[in-house]
C-alpha cells in the first residue's frame, strides 16, 4: 500500500488521507471541501519503503533528521527541526528517521554520528551534515539551490 498520512479537517473534523506526493500541497477536505494545509510538522518514518516513497515523490526538498531516542544532541535538535517544518510548510518536507528502528537506512546513507541531516532534491541526496545546527543554518540547506 502506498504511503499516506491522515490529517483531520480543521472545519469538520473528517479524517483525510494525504498521499506522499502531495505533502506540500494545499488540499480540500473530502467531506466539507474546506482547505487542508500542507504538512507542517516532521513526519516520523516507520519503514524504508515509506522513506523511499516520500523522498522520491516529493516535488519539494526533503530534510531528513537521522536521530535516536538515547541521543542527547538529537533531543536538543528536535525543537529546531519541528519549528523548521512549521516554517517551511508547503515548501519542504521534514522527515525523522530513528536510526535504532531503521538501521538499514542509517547504513544506506553511512550515518556514523547523530544527529545527522540529509537534504534530498529530486529523490537524491544533495547535502549531508552531522551535528547540531541552528534553524537558520538548516533553512539555508533546504532553500539553497544545488
Contact 133, 81 (CB under 8 A): no
Which residue's entry shows cell 519503514? 47
- Integer Cα distance of 60 and 42 in angstroms: 14
Indicate if 32 belongs to the active site.
no
Pick the catalytic residue: 9, 29, 32, 71? 71
Gyration radius from the chain CA atoms: 15
Indicate if 71 belongs to the active site.
yes
Pick the catalytic residue: 9, 29, 32, 74? 74
- Integer Cα distance of 59 and 2 in angstroms: 17
Known catalytic residues are: 71, 74
Amino acid at each position: 500500500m502506498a504511503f499516506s498520512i491522515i490529517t483531520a479537517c480543521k472545519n469538520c473534523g473528517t479524517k483525510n488521507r494525504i498521499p506522499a506526493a502531495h505533502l506540500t500541497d494545499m488540499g480540500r477536505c473530502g467531506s466539507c471541501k474546506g482547505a487542508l494545509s500542507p504538512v507542517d510538522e516532521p513526519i516520523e518514518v516507520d519503514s524504508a519503503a515509506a522513506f523511499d516513497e516520500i523522498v522520491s515523490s516529493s516535488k519539494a526538498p526533503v530534510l531528513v533528521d537521522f536521530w535516536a531516542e538515547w541521543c542527547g544532541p538529537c533531543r536538543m535538535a528536535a525543537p529546531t527541526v519541528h519549528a523548521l517544518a512549521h516554517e517551511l510548510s508547503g515548501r519542504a518536507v521534514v522527515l525523522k528517521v530513528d536510526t535504532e528502528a531503521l538501521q538499514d537506512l542509517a547504513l544506506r546513507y553511512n550515518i556514523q554520528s547523530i544527529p545527522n541531516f540529509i537534504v534530498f532534491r529530486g529523490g537524491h541526496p544533495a547535502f549531508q551534515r552531522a551535528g547540531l545546527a541552528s534553524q537558520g543554518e538548516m533553512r539555508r540547506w533546504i532553500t539553497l539551490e544545488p
